[in-house]
């Protein structure tokens, strides 16, 4: 490993520490409380006042040091926030005080013991009567004011991004809390969480190119799943009635601000219910998430805005009516594929002319409607030609029972009343195989056979967890909510 001059200096301090018989990497720091506890105890104090009682112990990362001769101020970060330490020569003694200043650096992990106090300038603080080095940082932290800005460095060295950025820490905590609350909500609604296989012989349930790998034992090629749908529906056939899975899916496609080759999907299937029941479930889930996020992370402005938006509830629009209203086009369901192709062309689409007609309608919707779906919005009852795998609408010809929902122009989820007629399912698989490239569409015979045993009428939904996290944290890119997103080449 190469070493910069800065690291050389810090190593020299470690050596000095050891030469004095002190351990630069001790084992523990018992009795420590979060810095938030100290801030709370400072609240009743006036500026310049110190709390009485037993001393308290805090631990965290040193972010900044401001040395003023015989008094020094240090900012200590822990997961609960930041706290100022006040270190005084008259409390530690001159030798200890000078020694600390010589050997401490920003980035070091330190423990401090002392009494809560509010500085004369009004800053909640801990007046240290004792300091301990808990782990020396050899590598210097990023610049204290701007932090780590380079997006590549931030994702390749996520640990540095996290230690330098309370916002980044908050975003990943938010993601974790969203998943936890989602589980609580679904468990409370009587759903069973299951885990199905990631490694499969044939990745189905969507139209995406799979990753492939090989089992040395089976001497067979395997694929990484692209969706959770087909195995979960087989569980409905098996009588599990209400199931969900939260798990990684993999699609061998390019990445952009809303797509990652490796992403986390929530899929949920609910027997004897339809897509209107699912709508109610989704509304309840997002209202609950909004409440919890509002409680947990009120300090993140984008999180507060999202929480408010979802607390206000969803708008509902009809796919065809909204598209016609915004585009000025009329009677879209009656148009020929050729007419739809011309409309899509006029709207700037470059999809191939021989695409299925549903593709042109999707492109028109993307062009005329999607960008304006900034508040939470359900889009209902898509044209059947855009959605070959949903159940046809019970009363609206040419439509399917489906909704998607959007926030800030981004699709967050997609729900159907599920197709459970085995013969129709077989027919649609066959049509797809004929219309599309073979390698992009799996024809899962075992799934069709499963439907022959009878799958109860059911509704299902897929919700992208990464996008959920983006929505609730205001992250502009999916990479901001994935701890270690795929990056080209070696991490140096």
Place of tokens 């000078």: 98
491 is an interface residue for RNA by CB under 7 A: no
Q: Which of 61, 77, 84, 340 binds RNA (CB under 7 A)?
A: 84
In the bound complex, what is the minimum distance in angstroms from residue 283's beta carbon to RNA?
20
Out of 21, 69, 301, 328, name the contact with RNA by CB under 7 A.
Answer: 69
Indicate the residue among 113 and 362 with the shorter CB distance to RNA.
Answer: 362
Exactly one of 54, 152, 334, 439 binds RNA (CB under 7 A); that residue is 152
Measured from the CB atom, the residue of 56 and 208 that comes closer to RNA is: 208
Residue 68 sits at φ, ψ, to 5 deg, of -120, 65
The C-alpha angle with vertex 177 and arms to 486 and 111, in degrees rounded to 5, equals 90
Site for RNA in 235-264 (CB under 7 A): 251, 253-254, 256-257, 259
Smallest distance from the beta carbon of 389 to RNA, in angstroms?
A: 5
Beta carbons of 173 and 181 less than 8 angstroms apart: no
Does 345 engage in binding with RNA (CB under 7 A)?
no
The count of other CB atoms within 10 Å of the CB of residue 470 is 28
User: How far is it, in rounded angstroms, from Cα 56 to Cα 115?
Assistant: 6
Work out which of 1, 46, 102, 218 binds RNA, going by CB under 7 A: 102
Residue span binding RNA (CB under 7 A) among the ranges 35-43, 101-109, 303-311, 446-454: 101-109
**Residue in the block written with tokens 């799958």:** 455
- HSE of 119, CA atoms in CB hemisphere, 13 A: 18
If binding is defined by CB under 7 A, does position 489 make contact with RNA? yes
**Phi, psi for residue 176 in degrees, rounded to 5:** -60, -40
Which of the residues 163 through 222 are near RNA (CB under 7 A)?
205-208
Q: Does 105 bind RNA (CB under 7 A)?
A: yes
Q: Of residues 350-369, which lie at the interface with RNA (CB under 7 A)? A: 350-351, 362
Alpha carbons 258 and 480: distance in angstroms, whole number: 10
Q: Out of 440, 443, 448, 456, which residue is the one contacting RNA (CB under 7 A)?
A: 440
Residue with tokens 């509304």: 283
Give the angle subtended at the CA of 394 by the CAs of 388 and 398, to the nearest 5°. Answer: 50
Nearer to RNA, 193 or 253 (CB): 253
Figure out which of the listed residues 90, 334, 354, 439 binds RNA, where binding follows CB under 7 A: 90
Of 169-177, 285-293, 333-341, 347-355, which segment contacts RNA by CB under 7 A? 347-355
Asked whether the beta carbons of 37 and 122 are under 8 A apart, the reply is no
> By CB under 7 A, is residue 114 in contact with RNA?
no
The residue within the footprint of RNA, chosen from 23, 150, 193, 431 (CB under 7 A), is 150
Distance CA 323, CA 371 (A): 12
Q: Are 248 and 226 in contact (CB under 8 A)?
A: no
Dist. CA 309–CA 409, nearest whole Å: 14
Out of 68, 159, 331, 394, the residue judged to bind RNA by CB under 7 A: 68
By beta-carbon proximity to RNA, the closer residue of 146 and 159 is 146
Looking at the Cβ atoms of 31 and 487, the one nearer to RNA is 487
The answer to whether 229 contacts RNA (rule: CB under 7 A) is yes
- Sheet with strand 242-250: strands edge to edge: 192-193, 242-250, 262-271, 458-464, 410-417, 402-407, 377-380, 315-318
262-271 and 458-464 strand pairing = antiparallel
Which window, 146-154, 290-298, 330-338, 446-454, contacts RNA (CB under 7 A)?
Answer: 146-154
Quick one: which of 182, 264, 414, 420 contacts RNA (CB under 7 A)? 414
Taking the complex as a whole, the smallest distance from the CB of residue 102 to RNA amounts, in Å, to 6
Which of 86, 131, 361, 471 is in the footprint of RNA by CB under 7 A? 86
88 binds RNA (CB under 7 A): yes
Residues 298-337 that bind RNA (CB under 7 A): none
Residue 367 CB, nearest approach to RNA (Å): 9
Q: Is 158 in the site for RNA (CB under 7 A)?
A: no
Rounded Cα distance, 165 and 181, in Å:
24
Please name which of 175, 165, 178 lies closest in space to residue 478, comparing C-alpha atoms. 175
How many chain residues touch RNA (CB under 7 A)? 73
DSSP 17-69: HHHTT--SS-S--TTB--HHHHHHHHTTPPTT-B--SS-EEEEEEEEEEEEET
Site for RNA in 13-42 (CB under 7 A): 13
Inter-residue contact 318 to 381 (CB < 8 Å)? yes
CB 115 within 8 A of CB 53: yes
Residue 142 C-beta: closest distance to RNA, Å: 4
The interface region with RNA, picked from 25-33, 143-151, 185-193, 268-276 by CB under 7 A, is 143-151
């Amino acid at each position: 490993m190469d070493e910069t001059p800065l690291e050389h200096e810090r190593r020299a301090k470690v050596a000095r520490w050891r030469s004095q018989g002190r351990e630069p990497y001790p084992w523990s720091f018992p009795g420590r409380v979060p810095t938030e506890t100290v801030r709370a105890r400072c609240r009743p104090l006036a500026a310049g006042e110190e709390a009485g009682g037993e001393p308290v112990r805090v631990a965290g990362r040193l972010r900044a040091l401001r040395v003023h001769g015989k008094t020094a101020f240090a900012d200590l970060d822990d997961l609960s926030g930041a706290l100022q330490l006040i270190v005084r020569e008259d409390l530690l003694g001159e030798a200890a005080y000078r020694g600390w200043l010589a050997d401490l650096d920003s980035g070091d992990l330190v423990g401090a013991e002392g009494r809560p106090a509010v500085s004369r300038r009004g800053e909640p603080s801990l007046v240290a009567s004792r300091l301990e080095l808990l782990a020396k940082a050899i590598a210097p932290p990023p610049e204290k004011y701007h932090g780590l800005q380079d997006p590549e460095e931030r994702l390749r060295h996520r640990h540095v991004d996290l230690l330098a950025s309370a916002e980044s820490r908050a975003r990943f905590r938010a993601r974790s809390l969203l998943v936890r609350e989602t589980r609580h909500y679904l468990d409370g609604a009587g759903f069973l969480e299951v885990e199905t296989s990631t490694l499969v012989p044939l990745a189905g349930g969507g139209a995406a190119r799979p990753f492939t790998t090989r089992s040395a034992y089976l001497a067979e090629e395997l694929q990484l799943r692209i969706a959770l749908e087909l195995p979960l529906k087989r569980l409905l056939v098996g009588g599990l009635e209400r199931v969900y899975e939260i798990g990684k899916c993999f699609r061998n496609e390019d990445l952009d601000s809303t797509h990652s080759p490796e992403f986390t999907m929530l899929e949920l299937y609910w027997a004897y219910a339809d897509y209107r029941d699912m709508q109610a479930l989704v509304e309840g889930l997002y209202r609950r998430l909004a409440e919890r996020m509002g409680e947990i992370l009120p300090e993140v402005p984008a999180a507060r805005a999202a929480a408010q938006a979802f607390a206000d509830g969803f708008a509902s629009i009809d796919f065809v009516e909204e598209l016609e209203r915004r585009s000025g086009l009329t009677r879209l369901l009656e148009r020929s594929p050729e007419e739809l192709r011309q409309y899509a062309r006029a709207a700037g689409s470059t999809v191939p002319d021989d695409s299925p007609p549903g593709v042109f309608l999707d492109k028109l919707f993307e062009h005329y409607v999607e960008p304006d779906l900034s508040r939470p919005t359900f889009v209902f009852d898509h044209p059947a030609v855009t959605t070959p795998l949903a159940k046809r609408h019970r009363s609206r010809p040419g439509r399917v029972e489906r909704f998607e929902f959007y926030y800030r122009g981004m699709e967050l989820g997609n729900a159907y009343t599920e197709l459970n007629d085995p013969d129709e399912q077989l027919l649609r698989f066959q049509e797809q195989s004929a219309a599309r490239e073979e390698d992009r569409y799996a024809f899962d015979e075992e799934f069709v056979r499963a439907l022959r045993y009878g799958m109860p009428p059911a509704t299902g939904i897929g919700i992208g967890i990464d996008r959920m996290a983006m929505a609730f944290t205001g992250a502009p890119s999916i990479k901001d909510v994935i701890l270690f997103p795929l990056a080209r080449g070696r991490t140096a």
